[in-house]
Amino acid sequence: KIQGRFMGTVYTYGLAATQKVVVAGNFLNGHKIEVQPMEHAYGGHILVDGKPVLTSFGTLKVCDGATITYDGIGELPDKAASKWESRIVHMELPQNITFTVYRWGNYLDLKLEMAPLAKGQDGSCGNFNGDPSDDTTAAILSRGGRVTD
């Protein structure tokens, strides 16, 4: 599973921004990776199984097939963020999943690269079936999309 938490901030005038992402499940042999924004008020950590890791740039093997590299190297998804120092978490995960998390002071930017799952999938970016017309808010909610804490 890859899950995100979205909340408004004073900087976004209440509009939702990504506040946390969690990667967990059987494909990680029961491990849980959590990435939070840089500022302490928003968590301020990279966690594996609830413990802070990679407090400075480096690489960590989580389990067979899962590695986290933390550095400042990568193409930014939003050029406006180039005025800040880059803090980028690169996750190489099982099933040929690459998940890149850009850590900023009070929010995260995300880039997920993967093949479609055989049994289908659904999430914040839609259902990955190539048809954007069924990825509206109403369509996602009708498929069971929900807000959880």
Q: In terms of domains, do 14 and 58 share one? A: yes
Query: CA 120, CA 127: separation in Å to the nearest integer?
Result: 7
Q: In terms of domains, do 52 and 110 share one? A: yes
Q: In terms of domains, do 66 and 90 share one? A: yes
Q: In terms of domains, do 44 and 87 share one? A: yes
Q: In terms of domains, do 7 and 57 share one? A: yes
Q: How many independent structural domains does the chain possess?
A: 2
Give the global pTM. 0.83
pLDDT value of residue 149: 44
Q: In terms of domains, do 77 and 132 share one? A: no
pLDDT lower than 70: segments of the chain: 124-125, 145-149
Residue 134: which domain range?
Answer: 121-149
Helices (H), the chain: 137-142
Q: In terms of domains, do 51 and 104 share one? A: yes
